[in-house]
Amino acid sequence: MAATNDLLLEIARCQNLNSKDSPCRTIAQTQSEEDRQVPEPWSGDLENAPILFLSSNPSISMSEKYPRSSWSDDKIIDFFSHRFGGGLEGWTKDGKYTLLEEGSVYRSKGVRYWASARRRAIELFEKDDVHPGIDYAFSEIVHCKSHKEMGVKEAMPKCTGRYLKKIVACSGARIIVCFGRFAADAVHQTFGIPDDVKVSESVQVGSRLRIFTFMPHPNARMVRSFVGCLSVSEFDWLKSWLRESKLELSE
């Protein structure tokens, strides 16, 4: 846990943002330095969640009660580790509504990305009773927030090179679901997975074997379900892999 928290803070307090020569400068400049929301390392119980969803970078909402650099280390750790429940505050409600800066008021509209990921988790677990942050966690290949993936292309090599392997190694996930082309490109390059596969062979990362699967981004205007995107054998293998990982955790 200590090493995971150290990594969380290393990402949240990343030192690359203000360098004039940093490839992260484009994405950093999408926010004001005085009121900048910190990079998002991950959300949920990274060490224990059996599924990890990876996407390009987190979208931004300045109205959300979200960590700034002025927050204490302990509060930043609490937010990201307990974003979906059990934290110092109710950072979200019902796994989809974010807490607003103005007080104990939640955004009336749910986060579409979280809702889409939940549907994919329901498919894999084959049950409706799934819990964000516990059954699955979220992370990105670029951790700074921006609108419409602005600055992701420029920052991706640097951010991925520094953090992606470390995040997956710390993760308890046996299945890594990669949403969209940026996440797919980063994973293909980092872990040497062929570009033409939808479900990888098992890959040793850290102390665990993982399977990577590649899916359309939740915002894509196309079929986005496992049933619609994978063959029967590919989908059955994913579900079998997930069942085996749960049995290992219970032993």
Residue 225 lies in a domain: yes
* Pairwise CA distance, residues 57 & 149, whole Å: 7
Residue 95 lies in a domain: no
How many domains does the chain contain in total?
A: 1
Owner of token pair 């931004």: 60
Q: Is the pLDDT of residue 249 over 60?
A: no
Q: How far apart are the first and last CA of the chain?
A: 20
Q: Is the pLDDT of residue 108 over 70?
A: yes
Residue 62 lies in a domain: yes
Q: 192: which 2 tokens?
A: 């040497």
Q: Is the pLDDT of residue 250 over 60?
A: no
Residue 233 lies in a domain: yes
* Pairwise CA distance, residues 149 & 40, whole Å: 14
Q: In terms of C-beta distances under 8 Å and separation of at least 24 residues, what long-range contacts does 219-222 make, across chains too?
A: 219/112, 219/113, 220/180
Residue 119 lies in a domain: yes
Residue 126 lies in a domain: yes
Owner of token pair 């700074």: 144
* Pairwise CA distance, residues 75 & 67, whole Å: 8
Query: Percent of the chain beyond pLDDT 90?
Result: 79
* Pairwise CA distance, residues 210 & 23, whole Å: 30
CATH number of the CATH domain containing 8: 3.40.470
What average pLDDT does this structure show over 191-219?
95
What average pLDDT does this structure show over 116-129?
96
Residue 135 lies in a domain: yes
Q: Is 102 exposed, middle or buried (0-12, 13-18, 19+ CB in 10 A)?
A: exposed
Residue 97 lies in a domain: no
What average pLDDT does this structure show over 103-126?
94
pLDDT at 112: 93
Q: Phi and psi dihedrals of 187, rounded to 5?
A: -70, -45
**Structural domain of residue 205, as residue ranges?**
2-85+111-250
Residue type at position 47: E
Model confidence pLDDT, tens digit, residues 70-91: 999 999 999 999 999 999 999 9
Task: Provide the mean pLDDT of the chain.
Answer: 92
Q: 27: which 2 tokens?
A: 């994405």
Q: How far is CA 200 from the centre of its chain?
A: 19
